């Protein structure tokens, strides 16, 4: 254990960073616990999200329909690794690179929702600023928009761009509505600068669905949206 600094150990103990596999193995050696710390580390890595975000992740994994509206940044499930890295570095510039890498890994794991046998319908309305705001570099943006074009070919993903020409949007805040089929009611998910909240109030969720309908009506068609995404991608290449 001597090779691990006091600061590193303190952060692991406080839950501020995920222990490395080597650290967990070393703990098992020191305390004589055959594989206990390694198993705990694996369990934490599978979760690894802020406590306030865990309810959303669990709902996302069960949803049959996910409606997402993004105003400035592309939603996490559709981000590439380099795009996510740039987003996290902007939000947490003082984090160790290892911590950023762990955040990116957890974000990319959310893609498995769309890889299951019966994935949800993912409907995403992107404000045009999501395509034109540089995140990382021109190369990162090209890769990210190419990934959107690939995702848009899936029968389970519908992308619409809300163009600048549509004028004032029906909402200036990101939000997400999830449906689950059967008798289970829809829920609304919103975030503020420090946390997120799942809302199941029928009236509030109904208002959010109505707002989403207005956003979809003002957005370009899915076909025209893919054309615009490709056009902006070519502009990033220039």
The helix (H) or strand (E) run that includes residue 123 is strand 121-127
Q: Kindly write down the DSSP assignment for every residue of 37-80, as one continuous string.
A: HHHHHHHHHHH-S-GGGHHHHHHHHH-SEEEEEESSS--GGG--
**C-alpha span between 76 and 78 (Å, rounded):** 5
Point out the least confidently predicted range of 18-22, 45-49, 165-169: 45-49
Rounded mean pLDDT of 188-207?
93
* Residue carrying structure tokens 């369990």: 43
pLDDT band per the 50, 70, 90 thresholds, residue 96: very high
Whether the pLDDT of residue 11 is over 60: the answer is no
The domains of the chain, with CATH numbers, are: 1-47 (no CATH), 50-237 (3.30.870)
Higher pLDDT, 57 or 149: 149
The strand pairing partners of 122, in sequence order, are 66, 157
Whether the pLDDT of residue 176 is over 60: the answer is yes
pLDDT band per the 50, 70, 90 thresholds, residue 16: very low
Rounded mean pLDDT of 67-93?
97
Q: Residue 36's pLDDT is what?
A: 75
pLDDT band per the 50, 70, 90 thresholds, residue 236: very high
Calculate the CA 190 to chain-centre distance: 13
Tens digits of residue pLDDT in 24-70 = 788 878 778 888 767 666 555 545 577 788 888 889 999 999 999 99
Q: Residue 103's pLDDT is what?
A: 93
Q: Residue 203's pLDDT is what?
A: 97
Contact (CB, 8 A) for 198 and 189:
yes
The strand pairing partners of 68, in sequence order, are 124, 176
Copy the structure tokens of residue 69: 């509206």
Tens digits of residue pLDDT in 107-141 = 999 999 999 888 999 999 999 999 999 999 999 99
Residues in Cβ contact with 215 at an 8 Å cutoff, skipping those fewer than 6 apart: 69, 125, 162, 169, 170, 171
Contact (CB, 8 A) for 142 and 236:
yes
Q: Residue 80's pLDDT is what?
A: 97
Whether the pLDDT of residue 192 is over 50: the answer is yes
Instruction: Give SS3 for 196.
Output: strand
**C-alpha span between 211 and 169 (Å, rounded):** 9
Higher pLDDT, 40 or 22: 22
Higher pLDDT, 14 or 4: 4
Copy the structure tokens of residue 180: 């689950």
Which percentage of the chain shows pLDDT scores above 90? 70
Mean residue pLDDT across the chain:
89
Which percentage of the chain shows pLDDT scores above 70? 87
């Amino acid at each position: 254990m001597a090779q691990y600094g006091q600061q590193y150990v303190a952060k692991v103990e406080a839950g501020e960073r995920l222990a490395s596999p080597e650290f967990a193995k070393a703990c098992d050696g020191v305390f004589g616990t055959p594989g206990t710390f390694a198993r705990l580390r694996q369990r934490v890595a599978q979760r690894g999200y802020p406590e306030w975000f865990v309810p959303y992740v669990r709902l996302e994994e069960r949803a049959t329909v996910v409606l997402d509206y993004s105003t400035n940044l592309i939603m996490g499930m559709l981000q590439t690794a380099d795009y996510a890295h740039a987003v996290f570095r902007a939000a947490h510039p003082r984090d160790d690179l290892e911590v950023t890498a762990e955040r990116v890994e957890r974000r990319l794991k959310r893609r498995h929702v769309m890889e299951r046998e019966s994935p949800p319908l993912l409907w995403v309305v992107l404000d045009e600023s999501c395509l034109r705001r540089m995140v990382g570099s021109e190369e990162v943006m090209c890769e990210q928009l190419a990934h959107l074009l690939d995702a848009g070919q899936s029968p389970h993903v519908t992308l619409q761009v809300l163009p600048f020409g549509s004028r004032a949007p029906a909402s200036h805040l990101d939000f997400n509505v999830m449906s689950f089929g059967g008798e289970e009611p829809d829920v609304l998910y919103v975030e503020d600068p420090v946390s997120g909240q799942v809302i199941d109030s029928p009236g509030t969720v109904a208002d959010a669905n109505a707002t989403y309908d207005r956003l979809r009506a003002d957005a370009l068609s899915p076909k025209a949206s893919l054309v615009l995404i490709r056009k902006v991608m070519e502009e990033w290449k220039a």
